[in-house]
Amino acid sequence: MSQNTLFDKVWDLHKVSSLRGGSDQIFIGLHLIHEVTSPQAFGALKDKNLKVKFPNRTVATVDHIVPTDNQSRPFKDNLAEKMIEALEKNCQKHKIRFFNIGSGNQGIVHVVAPELGLTQPGMTIACGDSHTSTHGAFGSIAFGIGTSQVRDVLATQTIAMNKLKVRQIWCDNQLANGVYAKDLVLHIINKLGVQAGVGFAYEFAGPAIDALSMEERMTICNMSIEGGARCGYINPDTKTYSYIKNRLCAPKNEDWDKALMWWDSLKSDANSIYDDVIRLDASEVEPTVTWGITPGQSVGINQQIPHLADLSPNDQPIAGEAYEYMDFKPGQSIKGTPVDVCFIGSCTNGRISDLRVAAKVLKNKKVSNKVKAFVVPGSEKVASEAKQEGLDKIFEESGFQWREPGCSMCLAMNSDKLEGNQVSASSSNRNFKGRQGSPRGRTLLMSPAMVAAAAINGKVSDVREFIYK
């Protein structure tokens, strides 16, 4: 059993009681809600005649269903309008702070909370969304929950949960030029598999992780869930603290000094014990692209789609399914695969640094006329920062459509969808069958820089050829 890791310290600190049968009652320091997984939870509160216990520990925004072309109200989609109305009413009734469209702070919940300084080291954070693991980048313990647990957090500020084991993933050396956090996390998931993380929290550590910016660290932790781990985290350091400092909800004045001391004490001790440790060499990671229907099915840009015989027996059935669904042949190169749609956005890669890196590739270039390309900033703040820097113009001049913030085609709950069996190059997190809105749609996951390169060439390309030209 793990000892003295950040996970152990934060878990113990938030433990309210031991429940019958071995699970723990854990206090949730910060609860984030959005329009898709909360209405039923509020409904359940009403049925049980319960109140929201600590309304000032829950924060709301709207992201999943918002249109990205025209956000004026009422939304054209009547069901989407009903959902945002339900959230508005619930927040008003229960006195929950809500960052609505136009507030300047609306956006994807996992982009917004760090921007506001809500996400801090040592917190437990829960949200009815599996990518809550993102917040672990700050040294918080953050996990996705279902609607019944949203109800529990609203009613009690706690949830019942079994303590996780801790696996350290130590990344030696540094990422090469043109290789990004997205490539590293896709590589990790490919090496460990999509099931390996079940029952574990992932601690990402090592020189390659230390070298990452906070936004890159969020990309890594965001996709922990794609490796099966409900939460992933990185020990806080000076980068963490300077990111948080002076943000709206950050501790101020003498509280800041107290916070710093406390945050520093939470890091995993040098003599921590882990349930498992994995080491890998980050310098070996290539720009990575998924070819299949799970985020674990990826290859380096210069590699071929694997043959069945190259895979473990357990991975073979889903690979067979993937060849058929994706219409790929084993041994085929991923490089050169034609793409129809290019999407930059999502809680994985919709932040300002993602937009900057993509814009750098796109500057003075044109998107292939065979491709529909669009960029969806992760939040209103990302959008306004990008506009100040003129990134929106670079995107538009290249042929990308510049959209309003939201989850958009990551999960296609709004009108941004693939059609038929279109292939998308996507900076999002899931390549599941039908994920991007068409039951036959095909998703290739990659970094935002790689999406930009694919958009220019109209096919999967190695972004390093653009950077060095």
In the window 194-223, what residues touch another protein (CB under 8 A)?
194-195, 198-199
Of 171 and 223, nearer to another protein (C-beta) is: 223
Residue 47 engages another protein in binding (rule: CB under 8 A): no
Select the span of 115-123, 178-186, 206-214, 394-402 touching another protein (CB under 8 A): 115-123
What gap in Å lies between CA 237 and CA 244, rounded to an integer?
A: 11
Q: Which amino acid is present at 122?
A: G
Residues 366-425 that bind another protein (CB under 8 A): 411-413
Task: Convert residues 53-92 into a mask of x (bound to another protein by CB under 8 A) and - (unbound).
Answer: xx-xxxx----xx-----------x-xx-xx--x------
- Residue 133 or 349: the one with the smaller Cβ distance to another protein is 133
Binding footprint of another protein, residue count (CB under 8 A): 90
Q: Does 123 bind another protein (CB under 8 A)?
A: yes
For another protein, the binding residues in 129-168 under the rule CB under 8 A are 129-130, 143-149, 151-152, 155-162
Nearest-approach distance from CB 16 to another protein, in angstroms: 5
* Cβ-based neighbour number of residue 330 at 10 Å: 16
Nearer to another protein, 176 or 249 (CB): 249
Q: Whose Cβ is closer to another protein: residue 20's or residue 469's? A: 20
Instruction: Report, in Å, the least distance between residue 121 CB and another protein.
Output: 8
Nearest distance from residue 240's CB to another protein, in Å?
14
Minimum distance from residue 59 beta carbon to another protein (Å): 6
Choices 127-135, 215-223, 328-336, 397-405 (CB under 8 A): range interacting with another protein: 127-135
Q: Which is nearer to another protein, 224 or 398 (CB)?
A: 224
Restricting to residues 258-317, which ones interact with another protein according to CB under 8 A? 258-259, 262, 294, 314, 317
> Pick from 230, 335, 351, 403: which binds another protein (CB under 8 A)?
230
Separation between Cα atoms, residue 292 and residue 290, nearest integer Å: 6
